Amino acid sequence: MLAAICALTARALGAVVAVDASVVTAVQELIDGQPASVSADDDSRNANGSNLPLLAAADVVSTDLEGSLVAHGRGFATFADPTRLDQPNPEELALETACFSNAESVSYLVTASAVETRTLRFARSEVTFASDGTRDVESSVFVSGAIVFWSADPGADLGGMSSEISVIVSRGGVEAPLFQTSLVVQGDGQGGVASEADGPIEFETIGLNELADRGVDEATIGILQQVADQGVLIVLAIPLQEHTYRYIARANEPFELSAKLEAHVRNAPNGTGVAVAVGRPFSELADFIEQGLPGVKGESLQRAVNDSVAARAGGGHMAPSDGTARDVPRWTPCGALGGEALLMLFMPLTMVPNRRRVSAIVAR
């Protein structure tokens, strides 16, 4: 989902000495706003192909007195093999969080995060450095995902309902992040909802006409239109996009570079739901929206949302944080801190004989 060390003006080699990763997710049930049941899961380890992928999954359901499902919260966080950059979407860091409630007093807070930390070293024998032994490095962050946010109750207080995704790239020993961005969809007490980005991230609304054109059935569109007319319905695409950042490397000095992806969703009682996927297409939306909005055909809606996000990549201009636009091909690898995607499209990250990974940098 995030980032590469990419070549612009020179193809210089740097060794990825070690990779560590962690994934965490938790689902907190709230009854009248107070904590009740909770489910959490996590995993962390030194990352190599033999013990990947990492997966954290959490799930909480609420039923009525007859045993019928009335509310549900679920979270996933995954970390895939960073060496498999020959794949169209390695989903190296990927999250999915979702919750809905048709109960009068039940809501959920669902969180998920995935972190990759790489130890890198740029050798003087492989890179030309300045006289002081330093070199500027330019890297990229690739971001993609989708958000679905609904309230079927026209009078609902949505002040506690929200979704947030954030991406942070940082360097060990340096306080300020190298790159940081977030996207928040926040409800208010009057039933309104606002979307706000903090940092460089592009997002677009997916309309009902587009979903219908992508195969969502007429009955489902009718239900969604009714929700939009009487309450709130927001479907956002975060198309695959590139943002650049820079740092300084010193010859032969190992350092840590970390990427952290987080997602938080919280719904409200009485007919609301939120679903977020970052770094991978939706795979859980179908079940949740069918449960939350009876009559909706979840599989067709999930497929249409995923197709809408994918269609916005592959030939679309994205806006890196340096202000210049670059095309991000549909099949560009977008794993965290990996893949020389823009200029080295057919050179996947590989294992060298001494077990160190090879990564290309921009040296200026």
Could you report the per-residue pLDDT of 304-356, keeping only the tens digit for each? Answer: 999 999 998 754 333 333 433 344 444 343 344 443 222 222 222 222 233 23
Q: How far apart are CA 20 and CA 52, in angstroms?
A: 11
Q: Kindly write down the DSSP assignment for every residue of 100-166, as one continuous string.
A: EE-SSSEEEEEEEEEEEEEEEEB-TTTS---TTSEEEEEEEEEEEEEEEEEE--TT---TT-EEEEE
Residue 49 is predicted with a pLDDT of 63
pLDDT at 178: 93
pLDDT in tens, 63-121: 998 889 999 999 999 998 766 544 433 467 899 999 999 999 999 999 999 999 988 88
Lowest-pLDDT range, 35-39, 216-220, 289-293, 337-341?
A: 337-341
Closest among 362, 263, 280, 277 to 322, alpha carbons compared: 362
Q: CB-side exposure of 198: number of CA atoms within 13 Å?
A: 9
- Report whether pLDDT(184) > 90: yes
| pLDDT tens by residue, 78-89 | 998 766 544 433
Residue with tokens 């940092």: 199
Contact 19, 46 (CB under 8 A): yes
User: For the stretch 125-162, what's the b/e string if a residue is b when 16 or more beta carbons lie within 10 angstroms of its beta carbon?
Assistant: eebebeeeeebebbbbbbbbbbbbbbbbbeebbbebbb
Note the pLDDT tens digit of each residue in 202-211: 999 999 999 9
**CB contact set of 31 (below 8 Å; sequence gap of 6+):** 105, 106
Per-residue pLDDT tens over the stretch 118-156: 888 888 877 788 889 888 888 887 889 999 999 998 878
Query: Helices 218-230 and 298-311: crossing angle, nearest 10°?
Result: 80
> What proportion of the chain, given as a percentage, has pLDDT over 90?
55
Helix (H, G, I), strand (E, B) or coil at 220: helix
For 257, 261, 281, the CA distances from 119, given in Å and listed in that order, are 6, 18, 29
Q: How many residues does the chain have?
A: 364
Contact call for residues 318 and 325 (beta carbons, < 8 A)? yes
The partner residues of 39 in beta bridges, in order of sequence, read: 27
**CB distance 267 to 274 below 8 Å:** yes
Flag whether pLDDT at 288 surpasses 70: yes
3-state secondary structure of 316: coil
Written as six digits, the tokens of 98 are 């979702």
